[in-house]
Structure 1
Amino acid sequence: MKYSLFTSLAVILLSFSAHAKVFRNAYIAFEMPETWKCNLEQTEWVCRSEQTKESKEAIIILTAKEVGPTDTFALYESHLNTPIAVNLRGGGTAESKIVYKAKSVQINDQTWIDSLHLGSEVPNYFTRYLATIKDKIAILVTFSAHKQYYTKYSQDFFKAVMSLRVIASKNLLAKPDLGPIRPGSETLGAPISSAMPADMIQGDGTEGKGSNKAMLLGGALLLAALGALIYLRAKKKKKR
C-alpha cells in the first residue's frame, strides 16, 4: 500500500516536471510559465508572456557580466538597501521604495542576494532582485510586475526563483559566442531599465477603470435625463 502510494506520488511529480517549461542560456536555467518566451535584446534576456495584455503586466530580465571591482555580495547588499533612482518618462526622477531589505539566500546550493523594491525600474512596478557571483561571472535576475497584478504572478515568480540554477561553465568568458556577457568595468544591472519594454503599463493601473466608471455614470445620467424628458412630455399630452 505504501509502495503504491509512493509510486503514485512519484509519477505525479515526474509528470509535473515533464511539463515544466525551462529556459536555459549560457549561464542560467529556470522554470517559467508555459505561455512565456525569452528574447535576447542586445545583451539582456527579456522574458514575458506571449499574450498581449499579460506581457505588459509582468516581466523577467536576465543579465550577466564579467566579475569586476564592484562585484561582491556585500556591495550588492549595500546597493539594494538604498532607494534606487529611476528616470520618469515625463521628466524628472523618483526614488524606489524598499519593500524588504537585501538578504542572503540559498537557492539550489548557490548564494544569492535577494531584495524587493517598488518603482525602481518602472513606476508602480514591484521588482524583485536576485544577484549572484559564480567563478568569474556575476548574474542578475529581476522579476517585475505591476502592483495591481503582482499577486497574480507571485506563484509563477516563486516557482521561477526556486528553480534558478547557475549553469555557467568556467571557460564561459573564453567563448564569447556563448554569451553575451557584459564587461567587468560596468555595474551589474545598469542596463535593466533600458531593456524594459516601452509598452509596460503606465500609471497605477486604475486609469482605465476610472474612465470606464465615469463613462457608465455619464451614460446613466443621460438615460435618466432622457427618461425624465419623455415622462414630462407624455404628462403634458395627457393634460391636453
Structure 2
Amino acid sequence: MLPLAVIILSPKAQARTFKNAYISFEMLDTWKCNLEQTEWVCRAEDPQEAKEAVIILTAKEKGTTDSFPLYENHMNNPITTTTKTGTSLTSTVVYKAQQQRYNDQVWLDGIHRDSEVQNYFTRYVATIKDQIAILVTFTVHNKFYAKHSGHFANTIKSLRVIASKDLLSRPDLGPVRGAGETLGAGIGQAMPADLLAADDVGADGKKGILKNEALMGIGLLLLAVLAYLGLKYYQKNKR
C-alpha cells in the first residue's frame, strides 16, 4: 500500500495543504510534494523556480539521540556534510536555534548557510512528539532568499503534527526511519541534483549586462546618425 499523502486546494493564495501520516502544512498552490524513499521533497511546479528552493521533510522513531538539548547543540554549531557529488561542506550558523511554538507544538528553529548545498541557506525546523521525531528543512539559494522567505515563513507557521499513536506499528501509513538512525540523515541524498550552480545564477545577470550593452550601442549609433544629419542640415542652411 502506498504511503498516505493528501493535497487539498483552497481559493487562498497560500492554498495548497500537504498532509501525510505525521504532519500537515500549507504551501503555495504552485508547489507540489513527492516521496523520495523515506523523505518528502516539495518544490515549485515551474522548472526554473524549482531550482531556487526546496522543502524536505523526514521523520524517525524517537531514539537515544533525539532530544531538544541534543538538537539545539547540533544546530548551534557548524554542520559538516557531504553532497551527492562527494563535495564536503562546512556550514556557517546564521541564526542559532530557538524554541518556537507553532500550533501548540514546540519546535526548534535555526538557519545555516552552505550546510546542505553550496550558496544556499537552509532553515531547520525540528520537533519531537510522543515517539516520533520530525525535521522539516527549507533550502533556498542566497540570491532568492527574499523571494521565498515570506511563503516559507507562512508554511512554518502552519506546521501541525498529526501523527497517530499507532503510527510506528502501521508502516502502511508512511515511511518513518528507525530509532537507531540520525534525524535528517537522508536529507542530503534527497536533495535535488538540479539546484542552481553559481554559473547558472550568473548567467541571467550576464545576459542582462550584454542586453544593456547592446541597447547602449544602438542608442549611441542613433545619436551619431542624428548628429550627422544635424551637421548636414546645418551646413546646407549655412550655404
TM-score grouping bracket, smaller chain normalisation: 0.7 to 0.9
TM-score, normalised to structure 1, is: 0.80
Matched, 1:94 2:83: no
Name the counterpart of 1:66: 61
Question: Where in structure 2 are the equivalents of 1:102-113 lying within 5 Å?
Answer: 102-113=97-108
Question: Where in structure 2 are the equivalents of 1:56-205 lying within 5 Å?
Answer: 56-87=51-82, 92-203=87-198
CA contact (8 A) 2:72 2:97 kept: yes
Alignment CA distance shift 1:111-1:217 (3 Å): closer
Letter paired with 2:82: N
SS at match of 2:153: helix
CA contact (8 A) 2:62 2:133 kept: yes
Shift of 1:187: 0.3
User: Which string of whole-angstrom CA distances, capped at 9 and with x for unpartnered residues, describes residues 40-92 of structure 1?
Assistant: 00000000111111111111000000001100000000000111113357754
CA contact (8 A) 2:84 2:188 kept: no
CA contact (8 A) 1:148 1:204 kept: no
Alignment CA distance shift 1:184-1:210 (3 Å): same
Aligned pair count reads 214
SS at match of 2:198: coil
List runs of 5+ in structure 2 lacking aligned partners: 1-9, 223-239
Name the counterpart of 2:49: 54
List runs of 5+ in structure 1 lacking aligned partners: 1-14, 228-240
Letter paired with 1:207: G
Letter paired with 2:27: M
2: distance between equivalents of 1:143 and 1:210?
A: 25
CA contact (8 A) 1:48 1:60 kept: yes
TM-score, normalised to structure 2, is: 0.81
2: distance between equivalents of 1:76 and 1:51?
A: 34
Matched, 1:42 2:51: no
Work out the percentage of aligned pairs sharing the same amino acid: 55
2: distance between equivalents of 1:53 and 1:206?
A: 11
Matched, 1:23 2:18: yes
Letter paired with 2:59: A
Letter paired with 1:26: A
Name the counterpart of 2:236: none
